[in-house]
Structure 1
């Protein structure tokens, strides 16, 4: 066990580059599986799927599967198909999310639903979900199948939970954390955990990797939700203020509303109900969030969960894989600065 104590913020300009370098060869093999399995005799399917899969995403979730396998010294090849399955689950949820949210931009490009329409996006998302389950079945492990199928169900529950929380000011921080723990962190956790299964490691190591992924996923989403109020479309890859206009009760809004005076609360009631969604209203929302220090505290919580992710790696041997996984956490949190 390493004697080094990792602390968030201890590295200058953290990046995903160490993880990318660590898994580069494996990721090429995963990308080959993705390219092969998104093919279909129906030309619209690979065309639409390719728009998002080749659209500049970081491949963070499959990289976590590969890095976790490297951390454990796994030398087989089962994790390549499973990492592709993880990416297909993620891509399918993005296709469906963009339809639900009526999004115009994803990763700085027009969304598939804007180009091809909602029905095609939903159905190609279904196709990718099906492909992911084919890959799981081919692996042959019921335990892997259970972990990834459960994560898929939890993600869907999280999305429905979020849908029922839209335009409701009574959403608590606890419920918000339940939502992001399901819709984002569940797949991060599963992506890491399945590496311990294929490497035939102990339940304790499975649980540690699950905790790493889950806490990283929560930190990642907290930062995403903060960025919506401090960044622009070119940085985010989506329209600034999307969450605001959709009436999503993310943590910056929950905190700003809780801390606001009567005037501020009246503003948030109108804004979240959908009656104040102009650019000037979004500008006012930013000012009110800034005055309440809601973004600062959202990012402080992200750092807390990021540190928990790093701590979960404490029992693993030091080396390039562990260092890269620590820096991936630091990168996830540093995106907002």
Structure 2
């Protein structure tokens, strides 16, 4: 019987699959160079060829940028539909630095001119068949809010292997249209903190180009609960004093249940804020509602404040015995008492409870 043609000469030898893969990658590189040369000879553009062969619609703009590491990356401009942007693009906060959850319709109104003309393409890197948007995440969010009413979105795309460090540096260089707000900067600081155990705020300040006090304020802004922040249509309008107020609300509420109820009450109060009001006017109304509700919460806390009575004095300051009364509830609290005394207290309590139960 004749041998089947087209098999691998390596057969099933150890390492055969890896060798075939390496050979294929080498062939791809060679074919790419050959294709480039042939296109130049024929006078055809790569954009035209890609559009015809693979259905990638390109507007022809192509450029090479030098990265922070000294390496370079090649970018081609392509046009994506609404469905492609929705399904095949994403934003990595640690790279892009823009909090996508805060990009509301109100905060993106300054981009409404995109309906007629996208002057600047977004910039992205291809990873596993999808695009990680380095710059233009606000434009992307605005485009997605149109839900297909605007047909095209332009993106400069690189398929070159860009490191995380180079991607971050490039995103920072490209980001010129809208400065990151205090909360976004705070989240960047927190990400640096989590990635570098033991790093000081002074060291973080050097990395992000802020003062140490600025880093402290930004981190406080980042720590505020998302549900409080989302009460504001345009988060960029919030300043450090506003975040200080929101931090005070969180401390007054104490837990998620009370905070959720607080947010619900504020939401009911501000539901009729008119969209035509200025950003500042909307913020002022919401801040006033929060301050008024916070006063009610704090007054209730003061009224419900627990009364604490000392039951005994000890020479050791870390030891205590006290009774706490709040409304109809009360409790006994003890600290660092010897085991023998704990046993006596348990016995005494059991006797008293048994007597009254009888």
Larger radius of gyration: 2
* TM-score for the superposition, normalised by structure 1: 0.26
Whichever structure has more helix as a proportion of its residues is 1
- Normalized per residue, the structure richer in strand is 2
Q: Which has the higher contact order (CA 8 A, sep 6+)?
A: 1
